[in-house]
Amino acid sequence: MTTHRRDSALVRPYVVTDGRAVPSRNTLDLVTMVRVTGSGPSGRLTPEKQILLELCGGGALTIAEISAHLVLPVGICKVIIADLVDDGLLVTRAAIPRAERPDPDLVEEVLHGLRALR
């Protein structure tokens, strides 16, 4: 019985993505931010797509967060998200990179310049 349960868990993601394992976009990673566009779907959506749109309706989420909420592998979520982006229902953007610390010498020069203006 345990084997049957494990096998059905492997089939489900395949069915959810219509057998595709690779998203139509290669720019999606774990920290890519996803949010809804506000456009309504033009047709009927799968339950996973509908839930994903509802999740992102409250604000932007990362792909990792979406994967955790849907209890689906990240790769499967990327395929679903890419489909919804292609349909104009979602937009994505890369996470904001960490700011680099400014050069201490440059900060010192700016400080001296500001003091000289007094």
Q: Which of 10, 7, 17, 34 is nearest to 89 (CA)?
A: 34
Provide the pLDDT for residue 18. Answer: 67
Find the domain containing 97 and state its range. 2-116
Task: Find the CATH number of the domain harbouring 32.
Answer: 1.10.10.10
* Predicted local confidence at residue 68, as pLDDT: 93
Residue 64: per-residue pLDDT:
95
CB 32 within 8 A of CB 95: yes
Q: What is the 3-state secondary structure (H, E, C) of 22-56?
A: CCCCCCCCCCCEEEECCCCCCCCCCHHHHHHHHHH
User: Looking at the 3D structure of the chain, how many domains does it have?
Assistant: 1
Report the C-alpha gap between 30 and 66 in whole angstroms: 10
pLDDT of residue 22: 67
How close are the terminal C-alpha atoms of the chain, in Å?
Answer: 81
Cβ–Cβ under 8 Å, residues 66 and 35: no
- pLDDT tens, N- to C-terminus, the chain (118 residues): 444 444 444 556 666 776 666 677 677 889 999 999 988 777 788 888 899 999 998 899 999 999 999 888 898 899 999 999 999 999 999 877 777 778 888 888 998 888 888 7
Tokens 């506000």, residue located: 38
